[in-house]
Amino acid sequence: LSHLLIDLLTPINPTHRAAVANMDAKGFKKTKFFTSAKTRASFIDVIVRAIVAKGPTGKKLQIVQAEIIKALQKESALADSNLHRKSFGNLKQLFNEEDFSGVFTLDKNVVILEKIETLRNSGELSEEALKAVKEAYDMIP
């Protein structure tokens, strides 16, 4: 019992605290429970729909992360898109940990959609989403 009390009273350094936060009660590394090809596709779809609905900004199709959050909030809390984001914690962590090359590029807090040819080659978007993106790109003078 005394060793438990000592453990509770011993300060934890920030590095150790971060390592412990990524472990379960048995000391195993936490996994991303809600991450799958299906949840990733749903997350990407929400972002693409939000970008297309917003329309072009200059010669780009882009959106700031705050607008992505608003789009995700319109979805059900248990929607695949939100489960995917929640498995990383927040958008910043998700964009730091997951690779979206071929779909988006990130410039600080701005998510910029790739050109249509790159999107088509990535295989990440449905034909319906590709059609909507092409129409949005066609609106750029």
**Structure confidence by residue, pLDDT tens digits, 68-108:** 999 999 999 999 999 999 988 889 899 988 999 999 999 99
Contact 10, 2 (CB under 8 A): no
Element (H, E) at 103: none
Checking 119-122 for CB contacts under 8 A at 24+ apart, the result is none
pLDDT at 10: 46
In angstroms, the CA 68 to CA 75 distance is 11
Write out the two tokens for 84: 């995917």
**Structure confidence by residue, pLDDT tens digits, 30-79:** 455 567 889 999 999 999 999 999 999 999 999 999 999 999 999 999 99
